[in-house]
Chains A and B, each alone.
Chain A
């Protein structure tokens, strides 16, 4: 494979070394577990967290004479993912065997795709940022390929003093290996890419993206070079299981490589592991220890073939993806790029926003979702799925503002009540007398009362009109904030005879 440099060196992401600036080159192989009820080649369940070896078919345990049968749902999901990555879909792909011995690999080979993957080249637009000016930078990360393969089981070394145990529940679960081109130039870009990829997969419903459950794992290829110079030797950091760790691993690995080169050494091509407790990578195996996987086409499986109509049908049913949604939010609702980017970052947030914004002011809805709802969720460490305030409830609050029933300030209090206690916002406003008073008679009385009690200040205010605000505040206070502030303002000024 020849590497094409698609990026212009950008000093912003250079790392200063003792002998000058360095540029990091990053590519990623992401293993994403396909969302499907059963495994890639067997009918066993893919549920996470079941009792050890309870989801194991005869095929998964590689009993003699067992044969794999492709799960069409996994194929569908891979094609949908390929379409979501704007990638070439290969109508003919081939499953190969990758041969190696390990106790959690019952067949003695992993069924994967080597020469002819199901998905070819594609591209992901990644918004990197925001920076401290609140700006995003869009970069394009190329997709080299996506292929389907089986996951292995799990070896457990802590169950017995001298033996290892094997859990085959994960054995045979479908994975998509999504290989990027080496198009990333900083840890932030890599993190943003992984985040975006996860967002796309979640939008498509092809992977749940839960890195803590191992449903998504990243192998990160890191090398350094002089800005714009020839590529360096890369190291692969295996199985990094959080976005934060990806960032840490890249930064520490880049520093290691730079220090090595600057000390007159050379980077050896090797596989490394990231140790989160130490925040650094360590060698796992070098090039000489690399397996010879003896790939060859799996004779138990025919080449995987489908026609354009199959692809077209899946394309037509594809949900709206984050980039399209973002553009629509900007165009239809007049949202800022910043707001739209935040709203589409998770499909559930975008859905929530859309429900709130439906028939209402888009910008106001966006403000409430981003500042109030996401702010409160963030403070409580809750996800959008766990929100105590539903889109219908927030919508009702916005309606009450629009109708003039409550003021924006009261709305904040109402939001808090709904957040803590739940209930129908309209009802709460009525039951608790939170309605804004628009009856001028009632407001006038309150203004008169305040003025009567503060006759000295009335005189002062007539001379110094800016003091009118003090009266407004007093009236609002006296009415428990329910008075329409504009009405109060007008009356106060009228009675004081000031402009």
Chain B
């Protein structure tokens, strides 16, 4: 019998429906794989075998009765940022020690309602702040990919590094993730997986630990475009509990996979051609352009003139919101409390011990840019930039462009403990250079694996769509996937 963990969601769904396999078998196969690999890869921060088996058993019964949901019996990993009732929910932070919510996030509740099985909670950068999964209180996640002929451990990207690594290493059939500045698309690109950040408002943020509320959006990381479409269909909903979620029907995304891109107008933004960008990224981009052209798409050069301001503006808006969102972690009601002689000391001790360096850095930046006398120069200015970035995209779309093609990241995965990045946080922030604009404009973006670097590490391309036109991204993404082929790491763990 083949290894059940090798099945995509679509394949497993097919076999489950035909009763060739049971969800219990599939779930046990994943639990076995996690048991074997997690000590090495550190993708999960909490595994929930009892819950997984109970859910799998229930799914098998439903399948037996012909009442299967869209994801019936499919085992998934959940990023630690999603509230899961009675289960470890700590945003990979020390400050949420022991926190198990009595509520379930809307996105995960949607997945369970469709029959999915929870394997456990996935590692991530603390409070989703990071691009390498090295800021986690639970230690870094190792990328299942290594350079050819090297034993050096690489980062899986971040912040959804656990999600990407678990999907790439087949430690789950698919995973939930979140994306504030690139946290789905960058790790997907660095692990040879598919990640889509849908339009802001497509998935409810209710029950997701907030990082930067106006940018945060949930989405899936999956092995291929079809699986990501299947997952997003279940995750998305309009939710009265999140007033920023959009009251709009969720389309059948899977139907868009395989749809022709003939006649689509794909824009190539010239501002994404950065100084010092590695040759192989440029080559990959040109390859992507060629594939889409071959599939019948029309390629047009476009300009998004305010792109260069996106990253600095992002690193004002996101920390500003974060500094306020993270104020609730004060040791008073839940999580870590480090006592002090008075309330101010208790706050200081708790927050000093509870937050890691990167989180503290962003709280400091955010507090600074919102302070009296600085607000206008930083926060207000950044909001103006944000409006201009949004307008750039609107102009291009108004000219008839259906989607944009860009590289997903400026480089392939780098080493864990990379000295350059450790010494200069801005170098780390540059990982998000191609992805933050999408969050700033609230648009959908998908990262699809498109090739390997010279060193043998995966590289991805990004497609950016019109608001709520995820379907075009699935269609065009599938064309790239079809042309590029699938990428799987050699198992070394």
Q: Residues of A with Cβ closer than 8 Å to B?
A: 58, 61-70, 97, 99, 101, 103, 106-109, 164, 166, 292, 294-296, 299-302
Taking A296-B320, A299-B212, A301-B244 as known contacts, 4 extra A-B pairs with beta carbons closer than 8 A to each other, sorted by chain A number, are A65-B101, A65-B209, A68-B243, A292-B371
User: Which parts of B193-244 form the interface with A (CB within 8 Å)?
Assistant: 205-210, 212-214, 240-244
A63-B103, A64-B89, A108-B327 in contact; A299/B321 too (CB < 8 A)?
yes
Say yes or no for B160: interface residue by CB 8 A criterion. Answer: no
Residues on B with beta carbons closer than 8 Å to the beta carbon of A295: 370, 375
B371–A294 touching, CB < 8 Å = yes
Say yes or no for B113: interface residue by CB 8 A criterion. Answer: no
A64-B96, A292-B372, A302-B244 in contact; A107/B328 too (CB < 8 A)?
yes
Say yes or no for B343: interface residue by CB 8 A criterion. Answer: yes
A103 (CB) vs chain B CBs: closest residue: B332
Residues on A with beta carbons closer than 8 Å to the beta carbon of B133: none
B324–A101 touching, CB < 8 Å = no
Residues on A with beta carbons closer than 8 Å to the beta carbon of B327: 99, 101, 107-109
Residues on A with beta carbons closer than 8 Å to the beta carbon of B209: 64-65
Of B206, B243, B324, the contact of A294 (CB 8 Å cutoff): B324
Say yes or no for B355: interface residue by CB 8 A criterion. Answer: no
B206–A65 touching, CB < 8 Å = yes
What per-residue 1/0 map shows which CB atoms of B322-346 lie under 8 Å from chain A?
Answer: 0110111010111000000001000
Say yes or no for B99: interface residue by CB 8 A criterion. Answer: yes
B127 (CB) vs chain A CBs: closest residue: A64
What is the minimal beta-carbon distance from B443 to any residue of chain A, in angstroms? 17
Residues on A with beta carbons closer than 8 Å to the beta carbon of B242: 67, 69
Residues on B with beta carbons closer than 8 Å to the beta carbon of A106: 328, 332-333
B370–A64 touching, CB < 8 Å = no
Say yes or no for B135: interface residue by CB 8 A criterion. Answer: no
Residues on A with beta carbons closer than 8 Å to the beta carbon of B112: none
Residues on B with beta carbons closer than 8 Å to the beta carbon of A166: 332
B93 (CB) vs chain A CBs: closest residue: A64
Q: List 5 A-B contacts (CB under 8 A).
A: A63-B333, A69-B243, A106-B328, A292-B372, A294-B367
A166 (CB) vs chain B CBs: closest residue: B332
User: Which parts of B167-211 form the interface with A (CB within 8 Å)?
Assistant: 205-210
A99-B370, A101-B347, A294-B370 in contact; A62/B243 too (CB < 8 A)?
no
What per-residue 1/0 map shows which CB atoms of B357-376 lie under 8 Å from chain A?
Answer: 00000000001001110010
Residues on A with beta carbons closer than 8 Å to the beta carbon of B210: 64-65, 300
Residues on A with beta carbons closer than 8 Å to the beta carbon of B214: 299
Q: Residues of B with Cβ closer than 8 Å to A?
A: 82-83, 89, 91, 96, 99, 101-103, 105, 205-210, 212-214, 240-244, 320-321, 323-324, 326-328, 330, 332-334, 343, 347, 367, 370-372, 375, 379
A64–B367 touching, CB < 8 Å = no
Bound CA span A61–B367, Å:
23
Residues on B with beta carbons closer than 8 Å to the beta carbon of A66: 206-207
Residues on B with beta carbons closer than 8 Å to the beta carbon of A65: 82-83, 101, 105, 205-210
Count A/B pairs, Cβ under 8 Å. 97
A64–B101 touching, CB < 8 Å = yes
B244–A300 touching, CB < 8 Å = yes
Bound CA span A69–B204, Å:
13
B99–A67 touching, CB < 8 Å = no
Bound CA span A67–B82, Å:
14
A292 (CB) vs chain B CBs: closest residue: B372
Residues on A with beta carbons closer than 8 Å to the beta carbon of B105: 65
Among A99, A109, A296: residue with most chain B CB under 10 A: A296
B351 (CB) vs chain A CBs: closest residue: A101
Nearest 5 CB-CB pairings of A with B: A108-B327, A299-B214, A299-B213, A294-B370, A62-B328
What is the minimal beta-carbon distance from B5 to any residue of chain A, in angstroms? 30
A70–B243 touching, CB < 8 Å = yes
Bound CA span A300–B327, Å:
15
Residues on A with beta carbons closer than 8 Å to the beta carbon of B205: 65, 67
A64–B83 touching, CB < 8 Å = yes
A108–B324 touching, CB < 8 Å = yes
A41 (CB) vs chain B CBs: closest residue: B243
A300–B213 touching, CB < 8 Å = yes
Residues on A with beta carbons closer than 8 Å to the beta carbon of B102: 58
Bound CA span A405–B344, Å:
76
Residues on A with beta carbons closer than 8 Å to the beta carbon of B347: 101
What is the minimal beta-carbon distance from A218 to any residue of chain B, in angstroms? 26
A98 (CB) vs chain B CBs: closest residue: B324
Bound CA span A45–B206, Å:
21
A62-B328, A302-B244 in contact; A67/B103 too (CB < 8 A)?
no
A64-B89, A166-B332 in contact; A109/B243 too (CB < 8 A)?
no
B324–A296 touching, CB < 8 Å = yes
What is the minimal beta-carbon distance from B85 to any residue of chain A, in angstroms? 12
Residues on A with beta carbons closer than 8 Å to the beta carbon of B83: 64-65
What is the minimal beta-carbon distance from B228 to any residue of chain A, in angstroms? 23
A62–B333 touching, CB < 8 Å = yes
Of A64, A97, A300, the contact of B243 (CB 8 Å cutoff): A300
Residues on B with beta carbons closer than 8 Å to the beta carbon of A99: 323-324, 327, 370
A99-B370, A299-B213 in contact; A67/B206 too (CB < 8 A)?
yes
What is the minimal beta-carbon distance from B350 to any residue of chain A, in angstroms? 11
Bound CA span A109–B207, Å:
19
B333–A67 touching, CB < 8 Å = no
Of B82, B207, B370, the contact of A296 (CB 8 Å cutoff): B370
Bound CA span A385–B3, Å:
79
Bound CA span A300–B82, Å:
17
Among B208, B326, B332, B333: residue with most chain A CB under 10 A: B332
Bound CA span A65–B347, Å:
21
B370–A61 touching, CB < 8 Å = no
Residues on A with beta carbons closer than 8 Å to the beta carbon of B330: 101, 103, 108
B344 (CB) vs chain A CBs: closest residue: A101
Residues on A with beta carbons closer than 8 Å to the beta carbon of B320: 296
Residues on B with beta carbons closer than 8 Å to the beta carbon of A292: 371-372
Bound CA span A180–B358, Å:
45
What is the minimal beta-carbon distance from A44 to any residue of chain B, in angstroms? 14
A63-B101, A65-B207 in contact; A108/B328 too (CB < 8 A)?
yes
A64–B213 touching, CB < 8 Å = no
Bound CA span A417–B242, Å:
61
Residues on A with beta carbons closer than 8 Å to the beta carbon of B333: 61-63, 106
Residues on A with beta carbons closer than 8 Å to the beta carbon of B244: 299-302
